[in-house]
Amino acid sequence: MRTDRATLVELLDVEGLDANRNLILAQEIERHDYRGSKTPVAVAIVALAIGLAAADLLPIVVSALAGSLAMVVTGCLKPGEVYEAVEWDVIFLLAGVIPLGIAMQTSGTAGLLADAIVASAALLPPLALLGSFYVVTALLTTVISNNASVVLMIPVALQVAAALGANPLAFAMAVMFAASTAFMTPVGYQTNLFVYGPGGYKFSDYVRVGAPLQAIFAVVTTLGIPVVFGLGM
């Protein structure tokens, strides 16, 4: 009975399955080498890195890099483990998209989009122009930073509002809301990148889920801003 019970416990354990001679595993089990003695040190390093950044004593980038180095120096992590933990697909994605955003700004492509909206001011009603500002800003935010898209689009939005005699706050709010809804690419915002690699997502996953969500936000925001802030002066 004791042998049967021990065998049952062993079968319920994944690593026990690997050690059981009565079973053949088709795939090797990943064995985790937990360093329990380093847990207090690791917790202290993480708390210190977050504390220094929260107290504005160090920039978050500097404190995070210093914390990572401290993890290796204290033996919490091995250099090889650090290398394996790097999400190289994210690194190469950023290496391609960040220059694209810079090129759009320096080449004047983003400015041409803004000028096209200004040129259509005489043809479209104010509500349609408000929606156009939302859509263009949202598209820009997928390839350049949200801060850059706001800096680029706010002056144009205020100029169009003044030409129409509309409420400038409404157009400014459309730009700010759109810049905060970077759903369609993993590089649209930092949190998108955080889950891109660890979650095993593909670039198309963001488009498939983010595009319908962005469409809903565009309609709701365009119709909601005039109700809350008013479209006319």
Q: Annotate 35-100 with three-state secondary structure.
A: CHHHHHHHHHHHHHHHHHHHCCCCCHHHHHHHHHHHHHHCCCCCHHHHHHHCCHHHHHHHHHHHHH
- State residue 230's pLDDT score: 86
- State residue 27's pLDDT score: 57
pLDDT band at 1 (very low <50, low <70, confident <90, very high): very low
Whole-number Cα distances in Å, 68 to 15, 54, 56, 57, 200: 30, 17, 19, 17, 23
- State residue 207's pLDDT score: 84
- State residue 86's pLDDT score: 76
Predicted TM-score (pTM) of this structure: 0.55
Q: Cβ neighbours of residue 144 under 8 Å, at least 6 residues apart?
A: 101, 102, 104, 105, 110, 152
- State residue 110's pLDDT score: 63
The terminus-to-terminus CA distance of the chain in angstroms comes to 86
pLDDT exceeds cutoff 90 at 158: no
- State residue 224's pLDDT score: 92
Count of CB atoms within 10 A of residue 153's CB?
27
Count of CB atoms within 10 A of residue 218's CB?
18
Whole-number Cα distances in Å, 132 to 114, 137, 164, 179, 219: 10, 8, 15, 13, 11
pLDDT exceeds cutoff 70 at 170: yes
Over residues 91-149, the pLDDT tens digits come to 776 666 667 666 766 777 666 766 777 677 667 788 888 888 898 888 888 877 777 77
The answer to whether 193 and 95 have CB atoms below 8 angstroms apart is no
- In angstroms, the CA 206 to CA 196 distance is 9
Q: Cβ neighbours of residue 152 under 8 Å, at least 6 residues apart?
A: 105, 110, 111, 114, 140, 144
pLDDT exceeds cutoff 80 at 210: yes
The answer to whether 29 and 14 have CB atoms below 8 angstroms apart is yes
Which of 148, 66, 158 is closest to 106 using CA atoms? 148
- State residue 233's pLDDT score: 62
Please give the mean pLDDT across all residues of the chain: 77
Count of CB atoms within 10 A of residue 188's CB?
24
Q: Is the model more confident about 140 or about 15?
A: 140
Helix (H, G, I), strand (E, B) or coil at 10: helix
